Structure 1
Amino acid sequence: MWAHMSEAEQIGPMGRAEERRARQRGGRRAAPRRRSSGAAGKGGIRRLFSWKKILGTFFGLCLLGMGAFIALYMMIDIPAAGNVDAERQSNIYKYSDGTIMARDGKVNREVVDLSRVPKEVRNTFVAAENKTFYKDAGVDLKGTARGVLNTLSGRGAQGGSTITQQYVKNYYLTQEQTVSRKLKELVISLKLDREKSKDYILAGYINTSYYGRNAYGIQAAAQAYYREDAEDLDVAQGAYLAALLQAPSQYDWAVASENGKKLVKARWNYVLDNMVEEKWLSRSERAGMRFPVPEEPKPAPGMEGQKGYLVNAANATLEKRLVAEGVASSRKEADAMVNAGGWTITLNIDKKKQAALEKSVQRQLTSKLDPDKREVDADVQAGAASVNPKTGAVVAMYGGEDYFKHYTNNATRTDYQPASTFKPVILAAALEEQAKTQDGDPITADTVYDGTSKRQVMENGSKVGFAPENEDDRNYGPISVQTAMNKSVNSVFAQMGVDVGMSNVVDVAGKLGMDTENMEAVPAQTLGSMGASPLEMAGVYATLDNHGKKVTPALVKSAEHLNRSVKMPDPIGEQVISREAADTVTSVLTGVVDDGTAQTSVRNNPRRDGQQVAGKTGTSDNNKSAWFTGYTPKLVTSVGLFGEDNKPPYKQVPMYKAGGEARVDGGGFPALIWAAYTFGVMGDVTRFDLDTQQGAAVPPTRTPTPTQEPTREPTQEPTTEAPSSSPPPTTEEPSSSPPATPTTTPPTSTPPATPTTTPPDDGDPFDPVRPGDEE
């Protein structure tokens, strides 16, 4: 109670009387205690940061900002002409030695009056980019403020601009991401919206935007994608061109990945749905529309042969770096920056190796295809990528027959199965994870599995519902991992994948360099049923060749534009799997060359000259793709052949009987191309420097009993030292020179000791007898 009484009430009448007497005596009553210093401090803070002062400061800053903006508005005028980049310059592309490979820079632009573009088509662009275009003041203040803040904080640029702002940036300003450029864009957009009509701005926007395929403006785009004039476009076609502007290189139907095609279709639907929402298109018309697949592109002059593939791949690499460094906010902006020209791009492509790879494909494949004699020969596509495993440099690339004839780059396409070239990844995962069989035995190069075709894969005593067939439904019975790799036995690696754990297999695949974003961890993946490109597989094998240290293939060496230099990432990364695991896989893969599916095409090649080689063949389901990915200590090259119908819609087709062969196998044309190229450019003979306790596996000392469960590893001494009573090893020891004849019991069909044909006069590798039973 006392705590709630005033001081006077607490003193009371008696207290007041005493106080009077004390004053009369000249005394003083004790002064009341002061408030605590904490209370005083809080009062000081309140006086310092009172709501009036905060509000005053806020309004002061607002007035200051308004004043600054008014000053900017008065100082900045609409430029009298477009910027320098509005007239595109040339890009220069160079080989690794600095010699010029190509120039790309002729402007493909034709300005058309807006009245020549159907109104419905015009509306597709508004629906795609800026639905409030006809109502707004030309700017998106929230988006611009966000962009300025992101630039100031170093978080890169961000989109969200209006059509007016995009036109101002494209035509009057530049693509650079700076605060001053964003403020100029804002002011000029406001003034332009006040001084010019919406039709004027829209016409400028669709006539200056970049649509991909070297097409600037809607007229050039209409011709590039539909072989029509802008005035003849329909709404569906217009919606596709409008959708393209978000990411021209990614959304070009001719080269888009499966994901890219899904994205552009979704964007196309978004545009049309917005038009219905704005009542620019009726629901019945919308319901009847079908996606308008564009025509195949016509490559620009000077891009013939392999140059077009190399230039496009280099551009794609540069665009990704511009986005990664925050120089561009999106692939759309990066696309515009690269195609504006003025770049000098040096590739890692070695001029001599590039020529050698092209020559090898022509002599070992193209010259043997005769579409007039066999229709299937017209459906065979080749792709290849060659990488230096020590530096990560892509030293050669083969994209296809000719950029003018086949626009898709076969070296970078990811829509075909790598098939058995994936098996080394499974073995690498087993070694890295120190996995065991279902019987609890460590998985090594000499572990014995049941190689019976269509054998049910088991896990913890139960069937997993997967029983893959071996090539030609061949049964191998008890077979070592080494021999299973040599013969590419599906049933063995399907069981091994489950023993390792498919999630672990996918994890190791990603570490080695494969794109695992959409790779399901299911047993069927052990057959290499995912999609992959020759460039991707070259990177995986380069990481194995580099003793488990990550190699990311690098096509571009440097890129410079005026005073700007784009930094390229280091292709050599960290240790992603142990050296012993990587080196053991390499050791095992030497057996594929010397005693397995690649022996006829590679082992006996007269230009091999003792060169040690590791590699793996692959032939996909229904013979739609065939591969050979192989390496020496200095060079990794992946070659793929793909069956593709040469008429739209370019579906995957089998290659049976192509080139006069019953089946196109990885040990056939792909291995021949690989050998002719590699042995022609390899230089000095080299040996693998392997750090492995396993070495090349040896056959078991006993004959395991076949069971439905995986058989146990044979009880024998380490595989690097074969017991005296055992048969000779299935492959050579890494330290020894390749023998003139196989070290194993001769195969059923023994390769001839000498070529069956006379080598060409120019020294190209001979064409050996085709093997009768490749994987």
Structure 2
Amino acid sequence: MRVLPTDDNDGAGAGAARTPGRKRRRQRFLIFLAVLSLLAGSGLLAGGYYFDSVPTPTDLKLPESTTVYYADGRTPMATLGTENRTIVPYDQMNDSAKQAIVAAEDRTFWTNKGIDFSGVLRAAWSNLTGGQRQGASTITQQYARVAADLRGVTYSRKLREAVIAWKLDDKYSKEEILGFYLNTVPFGRGAYGIEAAAQTYFGKTVRRDAPASQQLTQAEAMVLCAMVKQPEADPADPEGAPGYDPRRNARARQNSIDRWNYIRDGMVKLGYLTPEQAANLAYPDTVKPIDPNAGRSGLDRPTGLVVNHVLGELRQTEPFKGKPDEVIRDGGYKIVTTVDKRVQEAAEAAADIRRDTAPEAVRDQPKNWQAALVAVEPGTGRVLGYYGGDSGTGADYAGWYYDESGQAHGFGQHPPGSSFKVYDLAAAVEDKISVKRHFDSPETKEFPASGRTKGSPAGPIRNAEHAACQPDCALWEATVASLNVTYFELTEKLGVAKVMDMAKRAGVDSMWETVKGNPQPQRVDLRDKPINEVAKRFSTEVGIGQYGITVQDHANGMATFAAGGKRAEAHFVRSVTKGDDKIYNEQLTTADLGLDDEAINQLDWTLRRVKAAQLDNGWDSAGKTGTWQAGQSTTQNVHTWMVGWTGALASAVWLGTTDGKPLKTKNGSYEVYGSTGPGPIWRQFMEQATAALKLDPDKYRFGEPKFPGDAPSTTGPTRPAPANPSPTFSRRPTPSVTPSSPDPSPTPSDPPTPTPTGSISLSPPPSPPPSRTPRPR
């Protein structure tokens, strides 16, 4: 008698060699007696069949990986879950894997009763007599083994496995069982189930409704089904027993080829292939290289921070509120984000200052330099690009999110300095204060009502820069020169509450206040209470950017102005589906700031004259720089900003340090400002992103103000209005849907992220106390 295959043998269902009838009957009789005695002794014969439960896939509730996609709904950003698995119903699979797995693992599958009786008896006899533990397993038995978590090669396991398989075969059709099996078994590289394997090894799918070029072929399915025999290398001998992954080493590749040939022969015997088809079938050399991050891609990259925000956002929605994260991660959902891959690539290329693609001004600088960038689509609030750091598992310098416990997590807040003056200016034009109105703008000025006098600890307000118009400047001139004296006076006239209310309505949801006795600023939710009450916690310095805000909020504020004063909620999730079920869809709504066209046009007209905001690609653009100094220093900056917009895209860029120390160049200079640091990042990003979106700049032209009641100044702006403004648009349109992507659904090393001390507190990296005089440039 020949040596029979072991538990995962190549010849499952092939049958044993024939012996003379009398000898064969005698052997079987002896085996039957041995097994009967064994069964009776263990009580498995009766108890096993009648009382052992049958774990079906419904009972198992198999964890199914959730995939996070870019806005196109086709390009994966990350895969979540404890197991990389995507369940595909049997009738939605093409035939490639169905045929290959039967040829590989159980050639009598369609005719057997779920059990290889001879294999079970053989295993029992061998185990009883002290021989090698062995015995063939059908596909049904293999599924039962996985489903019931039956481990080891023992007679008791084989018997229970057989009982469960027998009952499965009684209750379910062969098609159902094969579907259970293909969605359950491991294929190596962390892939569970045939769909995850097809994606992991070939970047394809088993779904029959996919384009033919994207479907798993017969030859490719045979490579995958070969791996079921040994999905991973033996950890005790990875070189000698590497398994069947052809990209692991030369021995594994030969193993794969040998078993592929065995499967091919079986497919001919079963009638799945003709001999001619088999002869023309070539072993595929298109298996993807082994990627340690396969199945978890994106979590350790910059987009991993986007995933944090996606999960934080979904935790606040009705379908997932109050539920553990496993519900999302292991739920088999398709999450489509708002992030446009083209915009994201432009954001990372510009803001990741460790890359060669970053602007020359910020490349190869000290390791403690750090940038953050957020881009928001005007009119929808969709976050199109997000860069808060180079690692999804590190610190997020662009924003914060709710963690699983419901607490605010992250520290993406920074004093905005003069970039916050955009909200002062918007509040002024809302109050019909023309940008041509003149203000007294000396080098320094006392403001007794706000406690800024020569005798006060902070002293009077001073301008960090000079302007040709001084000491009498129009508001637009003071804005371009970023004169602190003018804007402090403007904030006093408007009132702190008015300025904060404008920032809140535009998109700034949180602001960090300085609390006496607390070394770290504390987050205040501006939406939590009436703004008049909240404003009491802040001083007039709010108008010159002393109090921290996030890059994300600032970008959303810019998007509001870019949309003509229509504020939308910044968000990261477009849709969540599972199969054909729609679980969640974004709600696109806007709120009107109340700024009329004249106010918006004056805002645009003024901020387009900021030199750092001018693009070289034909787009109308507006923006503002800002810096904040270290302590009482007048020459060293810790935070630098550039924020702005076109009619189609708004963004905010922060450049600072990870340790709170002043920005110092590799050449030892402290001359780092909004125009020289984040300015180049912002301009490169805006130019590359708008080019990638392939939009027509003529459709997004800014309107021209009429300056009612005030004759235009004869003082020339730094940049004239367009020579040929579009005759069609008095200002850019407000999009109701994203122009960047269609609806995808047809129906130094970073410091550890600090833990917040309370629901309204987020801790930033340690930094010196802020000065009360921002640098304007």
- TM-score norm. by structure 1 comes to 0.48
Larger relative contact order (C-alpha < 8 A, sep ≥ 6)?
2
> Which of structures 1 and 2 has the bigger CA Rg?
1
